[in-house]
Amino acid sequence: MANPFRLLDEDPSGARRGELKLERGLVPTPAFMPVGTAGAVKALTPDQVAANGPAILLGNTYHLLLQPGHQLIQKLGGLHAFMGWQKPILTDSGGFQVFSLPKHELSEEGVTFRSEQEGQPTLLTPEKSVEIQEALGADIAMAFDECLPFPCPEPVAAKSIERTYRWEKRCLEARKKADQRMFGIVQGSVYEKLRRRSAEQIVGLRFDGYAIGGVSVGEGQDWMKEVVAWTTPALPKDHARYLMGVGLPEDILEAVERGIDLFDCVIPTRYGRGGTLFTSRGRIRIRHRRYRRDKYPIDLSCDCYSCTRFSRAYVHHLFEANEILSQVLASIHNLRFYERLMQQIREAVSAGRFSALKTELLATLKHAPEAR
């Protein structure tokens, strides 16, 4: 299958604009993928998600494997039909979640884990991960890699990237569906040599796109920037680059500048449910009493459903009253904030002024108006 990515613009800063052409829709990049963990973006209907504009969602293989099971979803017409989302979906390999479980056992074959729900041990292998992602019907599947914790000693990481290489090779060999794209994942912890070596290996396998894994595991923004800066030069320019599990708007800006095209993260929805809202004037904690009587929308410059219909005072009230609607309105707003951020980024790259946008946005993003 042809490379789905097309590079459209390059900014002097290193940022790129492009598009991923998939059967279910075009994804303009840089793009942010909202996370639909268990077949739903938490608290939202697919129409509420779609109204915010994202062109692609991420689904979690691990969660869907456990509940309701990939075979059932396949029988019901695949993940798109099941959850009522007709645009593209990327699924992860399940590895990240399995490696995060306190009880998992690693072998060359794969990872054995016991889920919280079921007592039965389950073996997740490269072949099994591919089978699940094909059953789900993802537009883009992710290769199954070994996810290392942070920190990780260099010799362990060095050994691990070799296994990741063998596993990802097995993923390519296990593919049965011709219409599903697969992205490879580069590992190597925080070691430049290993990141470059892993990138070389994975690129040699010829995937439809490349991801940087093993970030967003507690290493912090400084390491993340380094890892991206080492890795992207080793990735083919004409393929999509995906930084997994990232992140805050400031992390996205840093990564875009280093040549990343795709992102996913639970932050907008998770922060939203907790009452932290992103605005053009900084992050606000809507439960703060200063918003009790505030008649203005969450963000005056936002065009989302929540901002065009309700006041901060109302959203504050809903949180205070523990109304479920608080989580709905906050999630809608934060997802719209992220989508608008990506739009701004794409426009700035086209205009060759990404650095100016980045400087401008970083100056406000970290503000906490309640602290002033």
What's the rounded Cα separation, in Å, for the pair 230 and 372?
Answer: 38
Q: Report the alpha-carbon angle 62-260-226, nearest 5.
A: 95
Q: Tell me which residues in 49-78 interact with a second copy (CB under 8 A).
A: 63, 67-68, 72, 75-76
What's the rounded Cα separation, in Å, for the pair 144 and 310?
Answer: 44
Q: How far is the CB of 68 from a second copy (least distance, A)?
A: 4
Q: 3-state class of 106 per DSSP?
A: strand
Work out whether 311 is an interface residue with a second copy (CB under 8 A).
Answer: yes
Work out whether 288 is an interface residue with a second copy (CB under 8 A).
Answer: no
**Which lies closer to a second copy via its Cβ, residue 235 or residue 277?**
277
**Which lies closer to a second copy via its Cβ, residue 36 or residue 213?**
36
Backbone φ/ψ region at 68: left (φ over 0), alpha (ψ -120 to 50), beta:
alpha
Work out whether 287 is an interface residue with a second copy (CB under 8 A).
Answer: no
What's the rounded Cα separation, in Å, for the pair 105 and 155?
Answer: 19
Residue of the chain from 183, 210, 263, 314 that contacts a second copy (CB under 8 A): 314
92 given a catalytic annotation: yes
The 239-278 contact track toward a second copy, x by CB under 8 A, reads ----------------------------------------
Work out whether 324 is an interface residue with a second copy (CB under 8 A).
Answer: yes
Q: How far is the CB of 147 from a second copy (least distance, A)?
A: 23
What's the rounded Cα separation, in Å, for the pair 366 and 280?
Answer: 10
3 state SS for 270-335: HHHHCCEEEECCEEEECCCHHHCCCCCCCCCCCCCHHHHHCCHHHHHHHHHCCCHHHHHHHHHHHH
222 given a catalytic annotation: no
In this structure, what token pair is assigned to residue 339? 């989508």
How is residue 198 annotated by DSSP?
H
Q: How far is the CB of 43 from a second copy (least distance, A)?
A: 4
Binding footprint of a second copy on the chain (CB under 8 A): 38-40, 42-47, 63, 67-68, 72, 75-76, 82-84, 292-293, 295, 305, 309-311, 313-314, 316-318, 320-321, 323-325, 327-329
Instruction: Kindly list the catalytic residues.
Output: 92, 264
